[in-house]
Chain A
Amino acid sequence: MNGAQCIIEKLTKHSVDTIFGYPGGCIMPLYDALLDADVKHVLCRHEQAAALAADGYARASGRLGVCLATSGPGATNLITGVANAFMDSIPMLVITGQVPRALIGTDAFQESDILGMTLGVVKHSYLVEDANDLPRIMDEAVALAMSGRPGPVWLDIPKDVLLEELDSTPAPASLATESSGGDLTDWDNPLGQARKMIKAAKRPLIYSGGGVMLAKAVTSYRHFADATGIPQVVTLKGVGNPGKRHPLNLGMLGMHGSRAANEAVEQCDLLIVIGARFDDRATGKPSAFAPNARIIHIDCDHSEIGKIKRADCVLLGDMREILRGLRQPLEIAEWREQCMASKSRNGFASTSNEDDPAPIQGPDFIATMDKVTPPEAIISCDVGQHQMWVAQYFDFNHPRQHLSSGGLGTMGYGLPAAMGAQFAKPGAPVINVSGDGSFMMNMQELATIQRYGLPIKLIILDNQRLGMVRQQQELFYAGRYSEVDLSDNPDFSAIAKAFGIPAMTISKRCQMRRSIETLLAYPGPMLLHVHIEEETNVWPIVKPGEANANMLENAPATTIANQQKGRAA
């Protein structure tokens, strides 16, 4: 058995059945071994898309995503996708070929120091120098990627190591895993302390994030939230934690959060942080975040504790057990009602009239999609205004159904992520919501969708702008628009058709429902090109670095200028 065959054997042993990649010189021994393997290899059309597809696969399923590429440009092309997985703590195994050992350090053809280049975007990485280390390293890498706070682990393997025969008795495996939590003993019975804090609170609030699904704790989370009846706000990655149509879900908080959510954070006297990390998009100015609250922080990563905000009580470890230990009924009826009333006034609700021939606004389209789409659908999206509208106006049943690039904000994420999700969940409806800018960052993948017959529904919300950047230029750069015009967009329907994918185009509100129904009913892939109003903004918005209390609301430009001036004074 050579190194390449050993990798295949280990992938099979770890129940990896689908991998995403692109071949080339130094990884060819592995592609050769793949011919005799049971593992399904998906040929993407760009390595970035292969990494993002592996991310979508992992995110939708909770399983390990695997991608591979050759040395040099293949490996560097992967980096954005791996950084994306790193920022959102997605378990991933990345395998790249490297030039043969003797050539490393000679500036050989397609040599790049990928280990050095990627140190900041991996949980761990290996340069494999001996084929006999591969069995141990493969086991270790898979365990590391999946355990504790998950993340990408990168294996860089010289071509001659892939070809090298292993000795018949490989060294025994020593498994490195990240223990999924710190030692609870160095805190004074924090669970009891937390229970008391929760009991004593008059206005407790849950602020939950992507850590809930990563800890596979969605069910325990819901039991806790429902047993206590505590109102909830969620981060972008926590969207879906409460479950569909939960009356106490006040929606997303932060820069594009609902007024109801941000005000609840402002008013609460106890903030229970569950699998979230006080990201600046969620907190705004940290010193002004939850100014009246004591904080309980529940996580598995001790390096997140106290990083941005000091916690009064820290619960590190298995989130499911912690949440089980915190369940208790509470007498906070008044606070609950206050939150629900605030939600009905200041939550996200669309007022769209679907019979209207008027132009489509982004939020209306997403709200209509929410009504028409079956509850098991997986929605991926790209980055920009449309991404925020998806998080605001689509009510998700489960966080694994919402594939959104959170930490890195990677334009071009949606299409490959949707492919990964469709491979992970072949029976589920998968819809990608893109912007006209983002779509073009990975649209070569239409070829992959077509080749594998993936029945993905592709929606482009086309405002002929880099809308999110345009919005910030309007609001924070005095309307000085710089390089945000995309009015010369290509004909997206014609592009889809060139790949053999049927397409429709709409531009009026009254066409929304029918077109989404047609899309969902179609058995194969289909593209829906939606012309939307060009200058619709995402509301509310908090200026980067500002306190969340200073949300700007939808208003004429002059009022907004005054809102901002008032604050500067």
Chain B
Amino acid sequence: MTSPRHPQTIFECQISSQPGALERVMRVVRVRGFQVEDLRLQRLADVYEAQLIVSGSRPPETLLRQLQKLLDVKTLKALNQPTQAAPPELACA
């Protein structure tokens, strides 16, 4: 469950409709430590138009950059300004 303390970021993106594209986006969100709060999407020709709201304690800027690296993410912007918080103290194994 999401704790309400974590700030939310709203992304608007176009995702390719190639096999695996949506899974790729969801995987990056999960692995980089964010939770999906809301996801709406609609297929238009060969892309999905999507609005994605995520929350998490890590800086959303890093998630934005990770998502931008995906070839299947055609366009991506954060609607609210992702804060440029200092990187968190990560636990080491």
Contacts and interface: CB of A to CB of B under 8 A. Distances in A.
Nearest to B59: A306
A308 B90 contact: yes
A310 B69 CA distance: 20
Contacts of B24: 119
A310 B87 contact: yes
Interface string B29-71: 0010000000000000000000000000001011001101111
- What's the dominant secondary structure at chain B's contact region? loop
Q: How large is the interface on B (under 10, 10 to 19, 20 to 34, 35 or more residues)?
A: 20 to 34
A10 interface: no
Nearest to A144: B71
Contacts of A127: 19-20
Most buried by A among B23, B31, B72, B87: B87
Interface in A269-297: 280, 284-287
Given A116-B23, A119-B24, A124 B87 contact: no
B77 to A, nearest CB: 14
Contact of A310 (B31, B86, B89, B92): B86
Contacts of A178: 69, 71
A305 B59 CA distance: 12
A176 interface: yes
Given A115-B20, A116-B23, A303 B62 contact: yes
Contacts of A144: 71
Given A144-B71, A285-B92, A544-B93, A115 B62 contact: no
Q: How large is the interface on A (under 10, 10 to 19, 20 to 34, 35 or more residues)?
A: 20 to 34
A286 B90 contact: yes
Contact of A308 (B23, B70, B87): B87
Most buried by A among B20, B24, B65, B89: B20
A544 B87 contact: no
A307 interface: yes
B27 interface: yes
Given A115-B19, A286-B90, 13 more contacts: A115-B20, A116-B20, A120-B31, A124-B71, A127-B20, A176-B71, A280-B92, A302-B65, A303-B66, A306-B61, A307-B62, A307-B87, A310-B87
Closest 10 CB pairs of A and B: A303-B65, A545-B92, A280-B92, A127-B19, A124-B71, A303-B66, A115-B20, A302-B65, A119-B27, A310-B86
Interface of A: 115-116, 119-120, 124-127, 129, 144, 176, 178, 280, 284-287, 301-303, 305-310, 544-545
